[in-house]
Chain A
Amino acid sequence: MAIRVQVAAFDPGAEVNALHAANLGVGAVVSFVGYVRDFNDGREVAGMFLEHAAGMTEKALAKIVVEAQQRWPLLNLEVLHRVGALEPGEPIVFVGVASAHRQAAFDACAFVMDYLKTRAPFWKKEQTADGPRWVEGRSSDEAAADRWA
């Protein structure tokens, strides 16, 4: 299990490979990669800055990981989230889940992303032609997280 909050870029393929390399009991790996888009909410986005709350962010992610482990029989789980300046096209978040069979991995991956979206302290500030703007929270993200309650 690993939680990483980092400025540095990462290779999603390498992260997926690492999730099963250490355990031949892994029969399924499900991963999610989130990317920075070049358009959002009616405006072109030239880049963004990811703010986090050092300490609190890692704690919040750890709590989500522990809850996923309690709900599903997981063999490995990695959450990686970048912070700082990011450009369109760059990977911003990676969640990878390894288990013996596919269903636990599918469900746990969706769960971790839904909870990360609504409970992990990260804030996006987009650079647009009209200047910088903070991304607003979405009620659809709340609804997605509520389905696991």
Chain B
Amino acid sequence: MKITVHFFARYREALDLDSLLVEGPFTSVEQLRQDLLRGGEEWQVLAEPNLMCARNQELCKLDEPLNDGDEVAFFPPVTGG
């Protein structure tokens, strides 16, 4: 399965990456995150406890299941308004 992963704000800067395409299998957003965390030191930003995530442009929890072709986003707590 193929998943497109987007990063925003401080995470995008820390990783120097807007998005990437990853090949699964991944059963959940959490499993995808764990896989990315094994990528090296700069990826540890995704270990922050207040990390937020979205699947197909809707906020979700880490246990959200994934399907082939899904889009996932990881980002720090939002600060608009």
Contact = CB atoms under 8 A, between A and B. Distances in A.
Instruction: Tell whether A pairs with B.
Output: yes
Interface of A: 34, 50-53, 55-56, 59-60, 63, 81, 92-93, 113, 116-125, 134-137
Interface of B: 6, 8-10, 50, 54, 57-59, 73, 75-81
B81 A123 contact: no
Contacts of B9: 51, 123, 125, 134
B81 A137 contact: no
B73 A122 contact: no
Given A123-B8, A134-B9, A137-B50, A56 B57 contact: yes
Contacts, number: 72
26 contacts: A51-B9, A53-B57, A56-B54, A56-B57, A56-B58, A59-B57, A63-B58, A92-B81, A93-B81, A116-B81, A118-B77, A119-B78, A120-B78, A121-B8, A122-B80, A122-B81, A134-B9, A134-B10, A134-B76, A134-B79, A136-B76, A136-B77, A136-B79, A137-B50, A137-B78, A137-B79
A139 to B, nearest CB: 9
Given A53-B73, A55-B57, A56-B57, A93 B6 contact: no
B59 A119 contact: yes
